[in-house]
A = this chain, B = another copy of it.
Amino acid sequence: MNIGIIGSGNMGSGLGRIWAKKGHQVIFSYSRSKDKLENLARAVPNARAGTPAEAVASSEIILISVRWADIKDALKAAGPMEGKIVIDCTNPLKEDLSGLAIGHTTSAAEEIARMVPGARVVKAFNTVFAEVYHSNSRLYGSRRPTMFYCGDDSGAKSVVSKLISDVGFEPMDSGPLKSARYLEPLAMLMIQLGYAQGMGTNIAMSLIRR
């Protein structure tokens, strides 16, 4: 598939690299440094650098992986995304990282869906640290982390579920896009555990059943 990455920082570069290695065609865009973007694209097979608008034009799937503060600017640069599958892996962190800027009655995913009318938005990939995407494997011993995803378009969710498997996680359908109101606080719990509680960034959630 053709995947456009809007926001080629830690998260976007990590996920894009994994998908490119799996044979997907990746366009990296929206980085603070044009040199960094070019170097990233050169270092990854099946990848090139472009503008956000180019990333959207040549991709069926768009990953939004920008800082919450940059979301409006990034979506403006990207332009319309009608009919595209848009994966939102953002977390609407406060500038000082002390908590979520929005929540409970809305979520970043729902706000983004409003900003890109007609796009098929799926929330995913927001509950593990970027370091997990940059390591060689997603395996924890013999266990795979669970990746929770949600959205209102079942076809889009089915595609994203496969992209989650490509990354090496166990996909877990968590219902409508509104469930992002639970997945974004889950990311904050991970940030609390990883940083404040000193667990580090190589932690992940695994849903167990019996």
Binding site for B on A (CB under 8 A): 99-100, 102-105, 139-141, 143, 145, 148, 172-175, 178-179, 181-183, 185-186, 188-189, 192-193, 196-197, 199-200, 202-210
Query: Contact at B175–A192, with CB atoms within 8 Å?
Result: yes
Complex Cα distance, B86 from A200, in Å, reads 30
Tell me the nearest residue of chain B to A178, going by C-beta: B99
Complex Cα distance, B148 from A49, in Å, reads 42
Query: Contact at B204–A208, with CB atoms within 8 Å?
Result: yes
Given that A141-B210, A209-B140, A210-B140 are known contacts, is A148 also in contact with B202, CB under 8 Å in the complex?
Answer: no
- Chain B residues with CB under 8 A of A172: 193
- Chain B residues with CB under 8 A of A148: 189
Q: Assembly of this chain: how many copies?
A: 2
Complex Cα distance, B175 from A210, in Å, reads 29
Tell me the nearest residue of chain B to A175, going by C-beta: B192
Closest Cβ of chain B: how far from A141's Cβ, in Å?
Answer: 7
Tell me the nearest residue of chain B to A135, going by C-beta: B210
Query: Contact at B205–A209, with CB atoms within 8 Å?
Result: no
- Chain B residues with CB under 8 A of A182: 185-186, 188-189, 192
Output the residue of A104, A139, A186, A205 with the most chain B CB within 10 A.
A104
Question: Which of B197, B205, B208 interacts with A174 by CB under 8 Å?
Answer: B197
Query: Contact at A173–B197, with CB atoms within 8 Å?
Result: yes
Query: Contact at B203–A207, with CB atoms within 8 Å?
Result: yes
- Chain B residues with CB under 8 A of A205: 205-208
Closest Cβ of chain B: how far from A184's Cβ, in Å?
Answer: 8
Enumerate 28 A-B pairs (CB-CB under 8 Å) in ascending A order. A99-B181, A103-B103, A104-B104, A140-B208, A143-B208, A145-B208, A173-B197, A174-B189, A174-B192, A175-B192, A175-B193, A181-B188, A182-B188, A182-B192, A186-B189, A193-B207, A199-B207, A200-B209, A202-B209, A203-B209, A204-B207, A204-B208, A204-B209, A205-B206, A205-B207, A206-B206, A206-B207, A206-B208
